[in-house]
Amino acid sequence: MGGYGDQDMVNDSAQLYTIEGISAAILMLVTAYLVISSSTIITPQETHITDMQLEQLGHDALLVLNTPKEYGTPSILYQCIRDDPPPHSGFNAAFNAYFTQLLNTRIFSGNDSLHFKVQLYHRDHSSGEIQPPIDFTSDGVGYFRENAVKVTQWVKMGSDASDPDLKDKIILVEALIWRS
């Protein structure tokens, strides 16, 4: 058990080479710090914000169209559906003009680029079955799987609807809205 035996066991293994160790540690820390602090992390919530803005605006626009401008007169939404003759062509110029204006008008910075496609749903009186949707109108821009939202309004049609299938029906107006 002499002191020399211990000295023999000292060698290079498991030694920290100080300079390399310190520089490696600093490199790792700086890299980690830069990565975390510089990246903008897009959380799922953030995409929901744009969806929410789109949904709110679409809902507002449909609601405005579904509000009569004067007492005793039908709303513009009602008029557009009433005057759309069967078979529905899938293009209602009057509705498109109003809806585009409401959706896309910005106050200071030019117009927005929102597009839409509107379908009508109703139930058959006798069977109670939901009928296949009527393609009411779209603004002619194809939908290519953009992030879209759906907004709806109910409209109670009277007996003056030009489509006999829609007379006295309660109609669900469903608009698909997207930005492109």
Dihedral (CA of 104, 155, 72, 63) sign:
negative
Residue 61 lies near other proteins (rule: CB under 8 A): yes
Question: Is residue 47 close enough to count as binding other proteins by CB under 8 A?
Answer: no
Q: Residue 123: count other Cβ atoms within 10 Å of its Cβ.
A: 14
Q: In this complex, which beta carbon is closest to other proteins, that of residue 40 or of residue 126?
A: 40
Residues 8-37 interacting with other proteins (rule: CB under 8 A)? 15-16, 18, 21-22, 25, 29, 33, 36-37
Interface stretch with other proteins, choices 44-52, 77-85, 89-97, 145-153 (CB under 8 A)? 44-52
Diameter over CA atoms, the chain: 114
**Cβ pair 149, 91 in contact under 8 A:** no
88, two tokens: 């529905």
**Which is closer to other proteins, CB of 37 or CB of 126?**
37
Under 8 Å between Cβ of 114 and 54: yes
Stretch that binds other proteins, among 39-47, 89-97, 125-133, 143-151 (CB under 8 A): 39-47
Binding other proteins by CB under 8 A: which of 8, 20, 70, 129?
70
Torsion over CA: 94, 100, 103, 109 (sign): negative
Alpha-carbon span 161 to 84, nearest angstrom: 8
| Interface residue list for other proteins (CB under 8 A) | 1, 3, 15-16, 18, 21-22, 25, 29, 33, 36-37, 40-41, 43, 45-46, 49, 52-53, 56-57, 60-61, 63-64, 67-71, 101-103, 105-108, 112
